[in-house]
Amino acid sequence: MSNKHKYPTISFRVSDYERKAIEARILARSMMKKDYFVRSCIYNRICVVGKK
């Protein structure tokens, strides 16, 4: 068996408030966490704000 994962992992850190807000949205939509994160990343508009 090789030491490779079947799929790559994406991870990020959130605050306690952000985690509770995310979990509340997941429960409201009756979705699995994986599906919620995938759909959020693919279909939502992302706005990047940076310094000049």
Structure tokens at 45: 């508009």
Plot region of 36 (φ>0 → left; ψ -120 to 50 → alpha; else → beta) = alpha
Q: Is residue 21 part of a domain?
A: yes
Using an 8 Å Cβ cutoff, are 26 and 19 in contact? no
Cβ–Cβ contacts within 10 Å for residue 31, how many?
Answer: 14
Closest CA to 14 of 30, 46, 37: 37
pLDDT (0 to 100) of residue 30: 92
Q: How many domains does the chain have?
A: 1
Full domain range(s) for residue 38? 8-52
Q: Is residue 12 part of a domain?
A: yes
pLDDT (0 to 100) of residue 17: 97
Q: Is residue 2 part of a domain?
A: no
| 1-52 residue pLDDT tens | 566 767 888 888 999 999 999 999 999 999 999 999 999 889 988 777 887 7
Q: How many residues does the chain have?
A: 52
pLDDT (0 to 100) of residue 22: 94
Q: Is residue 3 part of a domain?
A: no
